[in-house]
Amino acid sequence: MEDRALREAMITTARKMNAAGLNQGTSGNLSVRVEGGFLLTPTGMDYDTLVPEDLVLMRFDGSHEGRRLPSSEWQLHRDILAARPEAGAVLHAHSMFCTTLACLRRGIPAFHYMISAAGGSDVRCAPYATFGTAELAKSALAALEGRKACLLANHGMLALGKDLAGAFKLAVEVETLAAMYWRALQVGEPVILDSAEMERVIEKFKTYGQQPGPTGAK
């Protein structure tokens, strides 16, 4: 397979999801854009048993090829990748703290400036829809408008990235923020940063973490 290295990287990332506490068992799923469609983790398979041939090649018309059936959330991944051309990877997980907030149908407000990592001044919670449905995909797309992550009511979370590493990094950040917010709520209502401050932070995030290249580099 020409894309074998990418398939192996997806399996490694899927296993990291469990190791990092983003996922438990066979829940959650992962997709990466490729020419003509996207690669997707299969439905109901333990990530520790996956081999490259188990990943499913999906096309945007809903057809697929490979020896396995695709994740039940293939429409969710398909619709997000179709609507968000800047996204190269989509990670969906049932992480503990994001899902706890999602079960309360509560998003994550600007209690901490790092919320900006998800693209805006909050992480929205999408209204509930049955898993694996077009309704869920529609609900998630609305919650992701202007954002790179969202919660899914009574379900879990989504994170987008330009590549696998980016999606995984953001998912870990959002789960960490969810854990902080949940803990703060045990004491009281956290103080929320105002819109003017969040605008400043979002502007600063446009160049956050960028390092200059070596001498002579453009």
Q: Which residues are catalytic?
A: 73
156 vs 187: CA distance, rounded Å? 24
Helix (H, G, I), strand (E, B) or coil at 37: strand
Give all strands (DSSP E) within the chain, no chain letters. 29-34, 37-40, 56-58, 64-65, 89-93, 125-126, 149-152, 156-161
CB atoms within 10 A of CB 8: 15
* Residues making up the chain, counted from first to last: 218
- Phi and psi, residue 183, nearest 5°: -65, -40
Q: What are phi and psi of 130, to 5 degrees?
A: -60, 140
- Tell me the two tokens of residue 125: 């919670």
